[in-house]
């Protein structure tokens, strides 16, 4: 029954991925009674039959009033979902096997607030409320099985307000895929070095060892001024330090030829993390791809891992 219900839901709109933002309207909102609603419908049917059978006008009036309230609650649930807009989705890339934290941005343009909105994607679900003409954000966990682009399935937005007799729901199918990084190798050898000395020093204002004293220049930090030496010379002198700096590391795909494709990607991903943590500038060389680097920092780290994630699978 669950598989048949899932196939039946594929007939609902939208039937293909769509660009965001999307605003929910009456053409894509569906309403069906809940289990509690079916129980109330059965009870009202029994009341109507009993009232008609015994010609009891007060009981008939009560049953009709309750039925009218149930119909009004179905209309109210439809109106609660209508007008909600899904503006964008986003998620920070994570290594394969870890859940992606999907952020769904919602907004509302009419003066009626929404309470009890329910979002569901697979087994992940969350609830939120939207103020009148306000915005909101919901986070959902999306599993990631393998590196590369992770296509999203349909996200269901639903509501059972105000009485819980019916459930109004709609689907959103974003066409924007999410990026999944490759899994880094658990234990990898040391970074490949060029030359005999993996480190050299460079003059730096925030270094570790004193390098020299030089005349003061406009813009130098006051804390770097050597006041004792300046008093002897009658001119301001500034301390300049040496800071150890790693030489550039070249991470070449072809040097790992004995390893299979996925093992090479895992090794290079680990080396990228090691170089980033060690403050080393690094260049990534991949087949059929322009060289990445030399560089360092979050942006370069993302570009390199993205290139590895999008490498062809075995």
pLDDT digits 0-9 by tens, 15-68 = 889 999 999 998 899 999 999 999 999 999 999 999 998 889 999 999 999 999
Q: What's the mean pLDDT when you consider all of the chain?
A: 86
Given this model, what pLDDT does residue 9 score? 72
pTM surpassing 0.85?
Answer: no
Axis crossing angle, helix 261-277 with helix 298-309, rounded to the nearest 10: 180
For 82-94, what is each residue's pLDDT tens digit? 999 999 999 999 9
Mean pLDDT confidence for 106-131: 92
- In this prediction, residues 86-106 reach a mean pLDDT of 94
The residue assigned the tokens 């030829």 is 257
pLDDT computed for residue 211 by the predictor: 53
In this predicted structure, the answer to whether residue 177 has a pLDDT above a threshold of 80 is yes
| Helix, strand or coil, per DSSP, at residue 254 | helix
Residue 215 confidence (pLDDT):
82
For the chain, the 3-state helix, strand and coil shares in percent, each to the nearest 5, are 30, 30, 35
Cβ(13)–Cβ(173) under 8 Å? no
pLDDT per residue over 194-220, tens digit each? 644 444 444 444 444 455 677 877 767
Residues with Cβ < 8 Å from 231, sequence gap 6 or more? none
Q: Is the pLDDT of residue 231 over 80?
A: no
Mean pLDDT of all residues in 119-126: 92
Buried b (16+ CB within 10 A) or exposed e, 34-45: eeebeebeeebe
Residue 232: strand, helix, or coil: helix
- Mean predicted confidence (pLDDT) in 267-284: 91
What pLDDT is stored for residue 241 in this prediction? 65
Average pLDDT on 127-132 reads: 92
Residue with tokens 């700096």: 245
pLDDT at 310: 93
Question: What's the pLDDT at 194?
Answer: 61
């Amino acid at each position: 029954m669950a598989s048949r219900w899932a196939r039946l839901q594929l007939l609902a709109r939208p039937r293909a991925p769509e660009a965001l933002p999307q605003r929910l309207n009456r053409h894509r909102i569906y309403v069906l009674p809940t289990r509690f609603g079916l129980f109330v419908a059965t009870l009202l049917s029994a009341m109507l039959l009993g009232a008609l059978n015994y010609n009891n006008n007060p009981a008939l009036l009560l049953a009709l009033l309750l039925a009218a309230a149930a119909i009004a609650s179905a209309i109210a649930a439809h109106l609660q979902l209508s007008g909600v807009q899904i503006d964008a989705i986003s998620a920070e890339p994570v290594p394969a096997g870890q859940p992606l934290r999907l952020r769904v941005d919602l907004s509302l343009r009419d003066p009626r607030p929404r309470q009890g909105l329910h979002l569901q994607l697979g087994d992940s679900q969350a609830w939120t409320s939207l103020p009148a003409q306000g915005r909101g954000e919901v986070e959902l966990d999306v599993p990631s099985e393998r590196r590369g682009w992770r296509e999203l399935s349909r996200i269901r937005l639903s509501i059972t307000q105000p009485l819980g007799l019916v459930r109004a729901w709609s689907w959103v199918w974003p066409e924007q895929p999410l990026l999944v990084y490759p899994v880094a190798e658990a234990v990898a050898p040391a970074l490949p070095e060029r030359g005999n000395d993996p480190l050299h020093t460079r003059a730096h204002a925030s270094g570790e060892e004193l390098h020299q004293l030089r005349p003061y220049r406009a813009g130098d930090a006051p804390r770097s001024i050597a006041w004792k030496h300046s008093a002897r010379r009658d001119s301001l002198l500034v301390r300049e330090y040496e800071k150890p700096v790693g030489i550039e590391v070249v991470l070449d795909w072809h040097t790992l030829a004995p390893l299979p494709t996925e093992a090479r990607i895992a090794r290079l991903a680990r080396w990228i993390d090691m170089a980033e943590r060690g403050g080393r500038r690094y260049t990534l060389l991949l087949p059929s791809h322009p060289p990445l680097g030399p560089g360092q920092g979050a942006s370069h780290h993302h570009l390199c891992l993205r290139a590895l994630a999008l490498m062809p699978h075995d």
